[in-house]
Amino acid sequence: MKPTADVVVVGGGCMGASVAYHLSRRGVTDVVLVEREKMLGTGSTGRNAGGVRHQFSNEANIRLSIESIRLLEHFADEVGHLIDFHQDGYLFLLSLPNSVETFRRNVELQRRLGVDVEWLDENGAQRLAPGLDTTGVAAATFCSRDGIADPNGVTMGFAKAAQSAGVAVERGVEVTGILVSDGRVAGVETSRGAIETRTVVNAAGPWAGTVGKMVGAGVDVPVRPVRRHIFIAAMDATVQPAPVVPSSHIMVIDFESTFYFHREGAGILFGMGDPGETSTFDTTVQWDFLPQVIDVAVNRLPALASASISHAWAGLYEMTPDGNPIIGRTGPEGCYTIAGFSGHGFQHSPAAGRILADVIVGHDPQFDLTPFSLERFVVSSASSGERYVI
């Protein structure tokens, strides 16, 4: 392994790969991307649902989506890798008056930023997603340029393009320490020896808090892991009449319950948040959660009642206290973080990586990073003068 590098990126998920790619496009190729697993993209990136949407509630996230989706649309030409991007749209189902009111504000903001989002009634929703039961649905929103893409394709595309430009990708190597000298990064320690560097990027996803602590000096990166499940349903071809499911890859989200689904091959991929889940790094599938999901699922997509579960897995959301990421300098000079995307990082990796690469090389990222700064979580205690992270 190289003993020195201009930049060391910790974590080979979609974020680390995107930062490495965008650094290489800015001429910074003396970079080592360090991943502790044997393959890239086996953390949250390898466990996600592939959803990509413009429909966010704050300007900063919508801007990340606009830029990211633009790159995903041209990924094969620009990065040189296929990513199986289906822009069949995201359909949000809203049942409560409060949710409709919130979405009115969101859609107004999305449209102001140039995103084309439609309002639909029950019939419109059913036309887009045949087989959907819209009982109790008051309104729905739809953006046709939203969709699903292949997280592995995006990660490998970024990593391979970076590698071709000279970036070193080290798999099966764990970063165990970050060396700081005179208030700035001096190197990293790994399971295969030290690398001298003046710049380190914490792209460790759900483990960003652990890597953040390696800097010492009271730096706290408030990212906590929360387990989320995905189930794959196989449709039974012998059931007659054949259960109706959407033939497109449209992503449907029942906003009130958080149940969501999309077509996955011949079957259906679905999931739902578990409000009782506490913070954990454990990704064992909790099968006793499945009946809770099924109860909700069959009400929205009755075809699931005759399906069988062929596969399930659990991964980790990387939650921050406000559900938004941390992008930028964190702690001593030369130390940066790109983490805490709180369950929507895959889709934002193209823009987030570009922005952080610009910050690192000293270019104006043309993006206001204030909503994503670590500082928003730092409070000073008037009595003791201490600073701590909420």
Ligand X SMILES: Cc1cc2nc3c(=O)[nH]c(=O)nc-3n(C[C@H](O)[C@H](O)[C@H](O)COP(=O)(O)OP(=O)(O)OC[C@H]3O[C@@H](n4cnc5c(N)ncnc54)[C@H](O)[C@@H]3O)c2cc1C
Q: Which residues bind ligand X (CB under 6 A)?
A: 10-16, 34-37, 42-45, 47-51, 174-175, 203-207, 211, 228, 230, 271, 315-318, 339, 341, 343-347
Least Å from the CB of residue 252 to ligand X? 13
CB nearer ligand X, residue 205 or residue 222: 205
User: Which residues share a beta bridge with 336?
Assistant: 201, 329
Contacts of 219 (CB under 8 A, 6+ apart): 212, 213, 330, 331, 332, 335
CB nearer ligand X, residue 138 or residue 194: 194
CB nearer ligand X, residue 64 or residue 97: 64
Helices and strands of the chain, counted as H and E runs: 9, 21
CB nearer ligand X, residue 317 or residue 336: 317
Least Å from the CB of residue 360 to ligand X? 16
CB nearer ligand X, residue 136 or residue 177: 177
Least Å from the CB of residue 348 to ligand X? 6
Where are the alpha helices (H) located in the chain, listed in sequence order?
14-25, 59-73, 75-78, 97-112, 122-128, 151-164, 208-213, 290-300, 345-361
Least Å from the CB of residue 347 to ligand X? 4
CB nearer ligand X, residue 42 or residue 141: 42
DSSP category for residue 89: -
CB nearer ligand X, residue 48 or residue 197: 48
Q: What is the DSSP string of 128-189?
A: HSTT---TT--EEEEETT-EE--HHHHHHHHHHHHHHTT-EEEES--EEEEEEETTEEEEEE
Rounded-to-integer distance, Cα 364 and Cα 94, Å: 39
CB nearer ligand X, residue 126 or residue 283: 283
Rg (CA), the chain: 21
In three-state secondary structure terms, 276 is coil
Least Å from the CB of residue 240 to ligand X? 33
Q: Give the containing element (helix H, strand E) for 265.
A: none
Quick check: 206 and 43 in contact, CB under 8 A? yes
CB nearer ligand X, residue 127 or residue 311: 311
Nearest in space to 269 (alpha carbons), one of 252, 284, 286, 283? 252
Least Å from the CB of residue 378 to ligand X? 21
Least Å from the CB of residue 81 to ligand X? 17
Quick check: 191 and 174 in contact, CB under 8 A? yes
Nearest in space to 147 (alpha carbons), one of 251, 266, 263? 251
CB nearer ligand X, residue 90 or residue 103: 90
Least Å from the CB of residue 242 to ligand X? 27
Least Å from the CB of residue 164 to ligand X? 20
Q: Among all chains, which residue has been given the structure tokens 């892991």?
A: 225
Least Å from the CB of residue 388 to ligand X? 24
Q: Give the containing element (helix H, strand E) for 190.
A: strand 184-190
Lookup: tokens for 30: 């003396």
